[in-house]
Amino acid sequence: MKPRKNSIPENVKKIHIVAICGTGMGALACMLKDQGFEITGSDDKVYPPMSEFLYSKGININKGFNSENLSYRPDLVIIGNAVGKDNPEAAAAMNLELNYCSMPQALNKFIAHGKKAILATGTHGKTTTSSIIAWILYKAGLDPSFMIGGILKNFSSNYRLGNGNYIVIEGDEYDTAFFDKGAKFLHYEPALAVLTSVEFDHADIFHDLDHVKSVFNTFISGLSNNSTIFGYDEDENITELFINKKCKTQRYGLRKDSGWLISDINISPPWNKFSVKKHGKIFGTFKTKMMGAHNLLNILSAIAVCDSLSLPLEILQKALETFENVKRRQEVRGVKNNITIMDDFAHHPTAVRETINAVKPFYPEGRLISVFEPRTNSSMRNVFQDIYPLSFDRADLICIRQPSLLGKIPQEIRFSSEKLVADLKKKDKDAHYFQDTDSIIDFLVSEAKPGDLVLVMSNGGFDNIHERLLGLL
């Protein structure tokens, strides 16, 4: 490898993207295409909807990785973090001495350059928080750019190229590339940042909680004294990380001594109503269709960020009333025979618990049926084996799937769905284990009753369980 080629030349016209069909890489490809660059790409997983979206933009996608895909010698090769050094195209880029870079490097150079960056990061809530901020800025007429790890329903997109001074970025703590093992968010220099939470996750990357904290500490320590970071006040790890930092720090949440406080929560379906205090004084009252205390905290952090930009209270209120959330976050996929099918991205034990707790009060008439597929690198490992049983307390009926990708995990550290079900039964929960999706569907078709909410939680497609259920109920 020739490190001197890990750089972006001045006159770039032709760009090839390795692993183009990922959410972030696909968004970057479209943004670069919209800016007038000639874009090609490749991936070993070329399927809708991202493939169709890229084709609609006029971007040619090569199916599979092949050194021949670089034979036209692009000016720059952008290499995704899922790509290893042995990838044929990564190797070809080195052998041909082509300029290459990571996704964050490209985003900084071509998209964020000259703009003020607003970054949302943390173990949970960063997609939702960054989406809320982007929507408020848009409704305020600030014409923001954004790149976020989920599809914003208000825009039907996870990216936007605006002409305004601000760009909103979801700050990912995951590694950057095989040639740069630092976290992605270390590449950005935000003027404003939100830190929602710090917990152990991404067990394939991080050894333990201390390892996670060290990465966030590096990030916060790198912020200048002109930057401000807002942190959730009930997270002890954040409290620790905020000590003796040169950047400005503010706290938000539930503590009376925090700068931003949420209070007087009133659930009145479909609305979630609440008040906000700023430095002990009433700032305003708000309402949103987003469910759950965790989402109200995400909103509170967005309010704090946008207030620091001197946006009027009325803009904040109207924007929050019209925010349509992010796809796969408490997304109702359909209602059949008065049975609601909801899709959610939750996979970490905390996210599973908070999602269940969030939706329960909005569906008081029937049962909450939780359907969970452990699928992430962390959830398929036994690191959370003893924690998951605590996540389903408010569920009335629980369906746990055997992880479909378990073969990727060494036997001695595999998560056991059967043990989770056994542990839930010890807590007198109505829990059931299933080896495959078909058996879950058969069970739910016979079991679900009018008024029930079926909450499906997975970070994958879950064999299209949502549409299949709606077709059979």
Rounded CA separation 19/436 (Å): 29
Q: Tell me the pTM.
A: 0.90
Confirm if 374 and 347 have CB atoms less than 8 A apart: yes
Specify the residue for token string 């607003």: 118
**What b-and-e string marks burial along 229-261, b requiring 16 or more CB atoms within 10 Å of the CB?**
bbbbbebebbeebbeebebebbbbbeeeebbbb
Instruction: Identify the pLDDT of residue 325.
Output: 87
Q: How many CA atoms lie within 13 A of 383 on its CB side?
A: 21
Confirm if 78 and 101 have CB atoms less than 8 A apart: yes
Instruction: Identify the pLDDT of residue 1.
Output: 44
Question: Which ranges constitute the DSSP H helices of 12-71?
Answer: 23-34, 50-56
Asked whether the CA dihedral 327, 292, 142, 164 is positive or negative, the reply is negative
Instruction: Identify the pLDDT of residue 465.
Output: 94
pLDDT tens digits, one per residue of 218-231: 999 999 999 999 99
State both tokens at 332.
């109702």
pLDDT tens digits, one per residue of 309-358: 999 999 999 999 999 988 888 899 999 999 999 999 888 899 999 999 99
| Structural domains of the chain in order of their starting residue, each with its CATH number | 3-101 (3.40.50.720), 114-322 (3.40.1190.10), 331-472 (3.90.190.20)
Q: Tens-digit pLDDT profile for the chain (473 aa)?
A: 444 589 999 999 999 999 998 888 999 999 999 999 999 999 988 766 777 888 888 998 999 999 999 999 999 999 999 899 999 999 999 999 999 999 999 999 999 999 999 999 999 899 999 999 999 999 999 999 999 988 899 998 889 999 999 999 999 888 899 999 988 999 999 999 999 999 887 777 888 899 999 999 999 999 999 999 999 999 999 999 999 999 999 999 999 889 999 999 999 989 999 999 999 999 999 999 999 889 999 999 999 999 999 999 999 999 999 999 888 888 999 999 999 999 998 888 999 999 999 999 999 889 999 999 998 888 888 889 999 999 999 999 999 999 888 888 888 899 999 999 999 999 999 999 999 999 999 999 999 999 999 999 998 889 899 999 999 98
Specify the residue for token string 């973090």: 81
- How many Cβ atoms sit within 10 Å of the Cβ of residue 452? 23
Rounded CA separation 286/316 (Å): 8
Rounded CA separation 329/151 (Å): 10
Instruction: Identify the pLDDT of residue 335.
Output: 94
Instruction: Identify the pLDDT of residue 246.
Output: 95
